[in-house]
């Protein structure tokens, strides 16, 4: 067993909260943190500059494919950013994540 943080970008806070609540309701994540960001990226041959929101969702490694699938189902982007980071934490926090 291990733990991951999944980095997901969204168009705005409302959308980020919708995705986070969906994952929480399905008990696929223990929690989500949401932050405003400024994004610069290539899209359809041009550099784009947008205000976006990123969510960092925390869960067990075994939930990766389920989380990815659920986000893809409800995310409005053509190509959503759903990135997995392997992490470790203090034992009490890891125990809490496992309890969800």
Per-position pLDDT tens, the chain of length 100? 799 999 999 999 999 999 999 999 999 999 999 999 999 999 999 999 999 999 999 999 999 999 999 999 999 999 999 999 999 999 999 999 999 9
Domain count for the chain, please give it. Answer: 1
The predicted pLDDT at position 87 comes to 97
Q: Name 30's Cβ contacts closer than 8 Å, sequence gap at least 6.
A: 58, 59, 96, 97, 100
| Per-residue pLDDT at 97 | 96
Instruction: Kindly report the number of other CB atoms within 10 A of residue 48's CB atom.
Output: 10
Q: Write down the pTM of the prediction.
A: 0.95
């Amino acid at each position: 067993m291990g733990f991951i943080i999944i980095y997901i970008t969204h168009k705005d806070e409302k959308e980020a909260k919708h995705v986070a609540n969906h994952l929480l309701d399905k008990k696929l994540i223990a929690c989500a943190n949401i932050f405003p960001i400024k994004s610069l990226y290539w899209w359809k041959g041009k550099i784009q500059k947008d205000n976006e929101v990123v969510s960092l969702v925390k869960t067990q490694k075994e939930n990766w494919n389920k989380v990815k699938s659920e986000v893809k189902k409800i995310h409005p982007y053509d190509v959503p950013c759903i990135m997995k980071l392997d992490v470790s934490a203090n034992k009490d926090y890891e125990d809490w994540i496992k309890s969800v």
